[in-house]
Amino acid sequence: MEKTKITLDENDIPRQWYNISADMPTPLRPPLNPKTLKPITPDELSAIFPMSIIEQEVSTQRWIDIPEEIINIYTLWRPSPLYRAHRLERALSTPSKIYYKYEGVSPAGSHKTNTSIAQAYYNKQAGIKRIATETGAGQWGSALALAGSFFGLDITVYMVKVSFNQKPYRRIQMESWGAKVIPSPSDTTNSGRAILQKDPDNNGSLGIAISEAIEVAATNKDTNYSLGSVLNHVLLHQTVIGLECKKQLELVNDYPDVVIGCCGGGSNLGGVSFPFLYDKINGKALRVIAVEPESCPTLTKGEFRYDFGDTAGLTPLLMLHTLGHDFIPPAIHAGGLRYHADAPQVCQLVQDGLIEARAYGQLSVFEAALLFAKTEGIIPAPESSHAIRCAIDEALISKEEGKAKTILFNLSGHGNLDMMAYASYLEGKIKDYEYPDGLIKESLSKLPVIS
C-alpha cells in the first residue's frame, strides 16, 4: 500500500496559534485613522470588535494559546488530512512529490471555519448577542453561520445581491444553520437605503455589503462585526493549517521546497505558509508562492501603499498591495479571490521578498482543477484551484529541470457548491480576461498620497 493520507489524532491539534508579527523582518506599518492619519487606537476599534480580538490584532507575541472551547469544536474536522498526490504525480510524470492539505473537510467546506469559530467564541465571551458580516461567494458567510449555531449567536449576513440570487445553495446552507441572510443593498441600513434610492436595481458589491454590516455593528451595542480575511487575527487563526502540515510532513520525514496557497485576502495562504516562513526567516531554504487570478492581480500588478480595506472607505487605512479600493474586478468564478487588496502581513512579506506572487488566467486554472478531480477525486473550489495550477506548474518545471522537489499546497475548500462554474467551463463559456490598457493605473491614480 502506498502512503496516501497522513492523519493526526485530535490530540495533535495545535494548542497555540503562530503569530508571524513576532518575527517579521520589517514590522507592519500601523493602520491609520483616515481622518487624522494617526495610528488607530484599540478603543477606536472596540465599537465593532471585542477587546480580545483587538489584542490579537496588534500583538507581537509569537505564540497565542487556543482556548479549550475552540479546540473542542476544531475536533469536528481538525486535524485535517495531508495527502500525497500519487495519482496526480503519475499523470504529470514528475520526479517531484506533491502534498496537499485538505481544508474542505470542515462542515462549511473551507478553511474559513478556523477563524469563524474563534471569532464567534471571543464575541460570545464579550457578551455580544449578534454578529453582522458580509459574504460574496458565500464561503465566509456559511463559516460564520456555522460558528453562530455552535455558540448561540445570531448571525446576520449581508450577501451581495447578485450572489444571493445566483447561489441559492449557499444561502440555504446559511439559513439551515440558523443565520439571517439579507440581499445587499437592503433597506435595513442607511447605506443600503441610500444606494437603493439612487438605483433600485443595484446588484450589490462586496464593498456595499461591508458598509451595511459595519453600520449594523457600529449602531447596535449588542452587535459586532466580523471579517473573514485580511486582518492579522484572521491569519493568526489560520496558522493551525501550516502547524499541522509541519507535524504531518515530519511523520514521513519530509519538508517542502515550495509552499503554495491561493491568495484573495490572504488568509489561507498565511495559514499554510507562516509556520514555514518562520523557518525561512531563520535561514531555511524554502519558497512560498501566493497565487492570484490574472483578473484581480493585486500582488503582481498592484501598488504597496496605504488604502482602505473596503470599497466605501469606512475602514482604517491599511498598508497593503492594492489595485485601488474602488477597483471592481471582472466577474470571475473564483469569487473569493475578487478583492482589491491583500492582507497587510502578506503584502509586507511579499515586499521583503519572503513570498513570491504569481497570477493565472481562469482557463488554465479550470484545466488544472479537472485534472486534479480526475486523479485525486476531490472537485476543488475555483479559488483553491489556483494553488493546484501553480503546484502542477512547479512539478512540470522540476521535470524539465530533472530535479525532484517537494511541493506542498493548501486545498482550501471543495467545489461542491461551485458546480455552475464547472458547467461554464465544460460548456466552453469561460474566457480569460484581458485588461484594457491603463485601467489599473487609472484606479490607482485616484488614491490619496500618504507617506
Where do contacts with a copy of itself occur on this chain (CB under 8 A)?
1-5, 7-11, 68, 71-72, 75-77, 83, 87, 105-109, 146, 149-150, 168-169, 172-173, 175-178, 370, 373-379, 416-417, 419-420, 422-423, 426
* Smallest distance, a copy of itself to C-beta of residue 290, A: 26
Minimum distance of a copy of itself from residue 204's CB (angstroms): 21
40 vs 70 by CB, closer to a copy of itself: 70
Based on CB atoms, which residue is closest to a copy of itself, 405 or 414?
414
DSSP H or E run through 132: strand 130-135
| DSSP-assigned letters across all residues of 182-229 | EEES-TTSHHHHHHHHH-TT----HHHHHHHHHHHHHH-TTEEE--SS
Q: Measured from the CB of residue 29, what is the shortest distance to a copy of itself in angstroms?
A: 38
Cα(341)–Cα(344) distance, integer angstroms: 9
Class of residue 19 by CB neighbours under 10 A (exposed 0-12, middle 13-18, buried 19+): buried
- Enumerate the H helices of 82-160 as residue ranges: 86-92, 113-125, 139-151
Based on the number of CB atoms within 10 Å of its own CB, is 90 exposed (0-12), middle (13-18) or buried (19 or more)?
exposed
Q: Minimal distance in Å, beta carbon 378 to a copy of itself? A: 5
Phi, psi of 385 (to 5 degrees): -65, -20
- Which amino acid, one-letter code, is at 443? S
Nearer to a copy of itself, 22 or 423 (CB): 423
Minimum gap (Å) between residue 372 Cβ and a copy of itself: 10
Q: Which residues contact 383 (CB under 8 A, 6 or more apart)?
A: 137, 139, 262, 264, 334, 335, 336, 337, 412, 413
| Residue 146: CB minimum distance to a copy of itself, A | 6
Query: In which region does residue 72 sit, left (phi positive, over 0), alpha (psi from -120 to 50) or beta (all else)?
Result: alpha
Given the complex with a copy of itself, which of 208 and 411 has the nearer CB atom?
A: 411
Residues 149 and 104: their CA atoms lie apart, in Å, by: 19
- For a copy of itself, the closer of residues 33 and 375 by Cβ is 375
Q: Which is nearer to a copy of itself, 420 or 450 (CB)?
A: 420
CB closer to a copy of itself out of 1 and 285: 1
Minimum CB distance to a copy of itself, residue 171 (Å): 8
We find the least distance from the C-beta atom of residue 161 to a copy of itself, in angstroms, to be 18
Pairing of strands 16-18, 63-65: antiparallel
CB nearer a copy of itself, residue 109 or residue 228: 109
What distance in Å separates the CA atoms of residue 278 and residue 261, rounded to the nearest whole number? Answer: 16
